[in-house]
Amino acid sequence: MSSNKDPRKEKIKSLIRTIPDYPAKGIQFRDISTLMADKEGLALVADLFYEQYKDAKIDLVVGIEARGFILGALLAYRIGAGFVMVRKEGKMPVGNGVETIKESYQMEYRSATTIEMHTDSVKPGQRVIIIDDLLATGGTLLAAAKLVERLGGTIVELSCIVELPDLGGRSKLAGYPLYHMVEFEGD
C-alpha cells in the first residue's frame, strides 16, 4: 500500500539519523539534527506542521526543551501564535513576583526529571499545541500537558515529528489528540 504514503513524510524519515546504543546500551537514538540541517527537510517539517494547524485557531504553541523550542517557534511564527517554553527544572528565571509551576516524570533511559514553566505563560481558555521532537514513553508530553492544564489552557493537540509506537507513549497520552509525522517501529 505504498500509494498511501506521503512522499514528504518518507523524505523526513530518511533524513533522521539513528545512533545505536546512545545514550545507553540498547537505545536506538533518533537524531533529528540531520533533518534540521537539511533545508528541504526543515521546510517539509515546517510545511506539514503548518498544514496541520493553519485553521485551528491556536493562541499558543508550547515547546519542550530543547528541540521543541526550534519546532515550536517555527510553528508559532507560521500560524501567527505566541510561543511558550517548557524547560528543565532550574532554568527558568524566577523572583520579583515571577514564579514557575513544576511537573516530574520518568524518562525512557534516565531517572525522574522535572520540567517547569512560568505561571503567567498560559492564560485560562487559551488554545494550546504542545510540541516536541519525539514521542517515546509519553512522559515529557504528559508532564507538559499537566502544566498547561493547571494554568487553565485548553490543549488542542500534542505534536511531534517522530513517534516510537513500541514504547507505549500513545497509551499514556490517551484522551489527548496526537499528531506525528513518522514512526520508527521496534525501538
For residue 108, indicate whether it is catalytic: yes
Catalytic residue among 67, 103, 116, 163: 67
Q: What nine digits make up the cell of 111?
A: 531517572
Q: What is the pLDDT of residue 110?
A: 67
Q: Are 37 and 105 in contact (CB under 8 A)?
A: no
Q: Which fold has domain 56-183?
A: Rossmann fold (3.40.50)
Annotated catalytic residue, options 8, 78, 108, 157: 108
- Residue 185's pLDDT is 87
Alpha helix (H) residue ranges in the chain: 7-14, 33-37, 39-53, 67-79, 139-150, 169-172
Answer whether residue 169 shows pLDDT above 80. yes
67 is catalytic: yes
Proportion of the chain above pLDDT 90, given as a percent: 90
Mean pLDDT (the chain) is 94
Question: Quick one: average pLDDT of 115-133?
Answer: 98
Query: Do the beta carbons of residue 116 and residue 84 sit within 8 Å?
Result: no
Residue 108: band (very low, low, confident or very high) from pLDDT cuts 50, 70, 90: low
Grid coordinates belonging to 131? 510540541
